[in-house]
Every structure is written in structure tokens, then in C-alpha cells.
Amino acid sequence: MQNLDWQDLRYFAAVARGGSIAAAARELGVNHSTVLRRLDGLERSLGVRLFERLQSGYVMTGAGDTLRGRLGPIEEQIGSAQRAVGGLDAALGGTIRLTTTDTLAHGLLMPHLERFQQLHPAVQLQLVVNNNFLNLTQREADMALRPSNTPPASLVGRKVGTVATALYASHAYLRRAQRAGIGREDWAAHRWVAPDDSLSHLAAAQWLAERVPPAQVALRADSLLAMVDAVRHGMGVAPLLCMLAARERTLVQLAPPDARFHTQLWVLTHRDLRNVARIKALSQFLYEALREDEHILPA
């Protein structure tokens, strides 16, 4: 028994219980050919036929009866272990290490995390604020809430919606620009607060690079949150997340949000963690809560 493939034995047991390939395929959630391939492989490994193939179904041979009798205690032990481990997960306890950007942590996420923690007080949340994708495959984090139009293919999850970006400036800066004879949409003449090279993938950063001379950039930052602060202090015009800039009474939106600047928002995790109960619970909670958030546009 110890030299056999447990997966092959699972398929054998399913056929034995259901009496047919179709019944086993339904139980295991696979197609017929997978069940046949596994069963044929097991019979070749043992050098015996385990079932008689009859029109009425699959009937175990004497060898099949013997194998099923030996397999019973092993099946029960494995099933017991799976139930015990699954029960621990189902309790929704333990730690979830969630990574996100400073903008989302500051402007969006905290009220939703507070609600989740109230619902599941046995879950401990660890928030890792980082503007780069951490390596979930190495468990630097369990989950990610990320704005990205090209999320990593190695992660799985769902698109929640999109976040909008528009051009903003402070009232004080616009008064200075007006005195200098600079028109509101004379982009090349304005002073700018721009994303640095680490954010050059953003559509707004690419738009700015095409229209604004480098000499007109007063400040570059690797944080959209820092850019809001710089614009609030009158350093220039900048493409800012609407969910952050709209809260600042000293800022003026210079043009409606441009759909080209929209960034998709994703709830992501590693494939191996997607069925862990606490991860599933937080993923579903964030997906539903953020879809209803006033700052998130429909996907």
C-alpha cells in the first residue's frame, strides 16, 4: 500500500462507492477521462483487474474487494485529519498579513478593516504598507489590495472596480499662475508635482511625460499620498487620486477625471491560500464592501 499513489487510490474508492465512472467523476469534480486514466494506472501498477466492466456498471473483482478492505482504515484516517485541519480554518482565527499601498491604507481601507475585525475578532490583521508588490509566493504577505491594470499572473483574485485620477492644484498656486499669465490648461507652462520613476507605469505619469517639459517639474515623489501634500502646499499641478484630493478643501479639480488614467483595483492572494477560510472571508468581505464604496467606480 505504501508504494501506491494516494490520488489513484482516491479514484478507486470513488468508483467503488458510486459503481460507475460517471458517479466517481461527479463526486471528485473531474471529467470521465481523468477517472479512467487513474483507474487504469492503478491496475497496471498492481498487475490485476480491480473491476469488471459491465453494461450495468463497474463491479469489483476479488482483488478489488481486498484492496477496498485494506483501504478503508487509511481513508478514514485521512478524512479525519482533513476534517480536523479544516475545522481549525473554519473557526476564522489566526493571522492575515495584508499588503496595500499608502494611498489605499490612508484613504480607503481602514473603515472596512475595522468592520471585518468586529465581525471576526479572533482574526489578527497585519497591515504591510508598501507601494511595490510584495512576493506573496514567499509569504511576505498573505493577501494584497492593489491598484494595477496588470496584476501578477502568479496571483489569483477579483477586480473590485477602478479608482479615478484627475488634475488638481491649490487655490494659492492657481492665483500665482493667473498673475503670471498662465492659462488654466496651459499644461506646459505650469509647475508640476510628478510621480517618480517607480510610478512611471501609471497612465497619468506617461501623459505628463509627453506634455510637460522636465524643467517644469518642481518635485517628484514615489508616493501618491506625498503628491497630495505637495499640491496642497502650492508646489504645482499634479494628477491625483480623486478619493484623496476631493477631501482637501484647498484643492481645485482642473478637469474631469480622464478614463485613460483609471486604475483597476484588485483583491489578490496566492493560489495555495485562496481556500483558507480566513483568507476567503477577508477576500469576499473586501470585494463586497469596496464595490459599495463611494470612491470606487464600477469595474
Q: Quick: pLDDT tens for 7-26.
A: 788 888 889 888 889 888 88
The whole-number pLDDT of residue 81 equals 57
With CA atoms as reference, report the closest residue to 265 among 154, 41, 109, 136.
109
pLDDT digit string, tens, across residues 253-294: 999 999 999 999 999 998 888 888 999 999 999 999 998 888
Query: Which cell goes with 106?
Result: 490612508
Grid cell 488614467 is found at 261
- Which stretches of the chain drop beneath a pLDDT of 70? 1-4, 75-91, 132-139
Q: From residue 109, give the alpha-carbon distance in Å to each of 114, 127, 134.
A: 9, 10, 18
Chain centroid to Cα 184, Å, comes to 39
Instruction: Please tell me the predicted confidence (pLDDT) of residue 100.
Output: 93
CA–CA dist 94, 108 (Å, integer): 24
In this structure, CATH architecture of domain 6-90:
Orthogonal Bundle (1.10)
Domain boundary assignment for the chain: 6-90, 94-163+263-291, 165-261
Task: Please tell me the number of Cα atoms within 13 Å of 108 on its side-chain side.
Answer: 28
How many Å apart are CA 254 and CA 257, to the nearest integer?
9
- Domain 94-163+263-291 identical in fold to domain 165-261: yes
Query: How far is Cα 124 from Cα 131, in angstroms, rounded to an integer?
Result: 22
CA–CA distance, 188 with 215 (Å, rounded to integer): 10
> What pLDDT is attached to residue 250?
96
Helix (H) or strand (E) holding 159: strand 155-163
pTM, 2 dp: 0.65
- Locate cell 504598507: which residue? 129
Q: What is the dihedral of CA 64, 69, 70, 74, to 10 degrees?
A: 120
Return the axis-axis angle of helices 6-18 and 32-46, rounded to nearest 10°: 110
214: its cell numbers:
522636465
Separation between Cα atoms, residue 227 and residue 238, nearest integer Å: 7
Chain Cα centroid distance, residue 21: 36
Orientation angle between helical segments 277-291 and 62-90, nearest 10 degrees? 50
The three three-digit cell numbers of residue 251, written as one number = 484643492
CATH topology of domain 165-261: D-Maltodextrin-Binding Protein; domain 2 (3.40.190)
Domain at 94-163+263-291: CATH architecture? 3-Layer(aba) Sandwich (3.40)
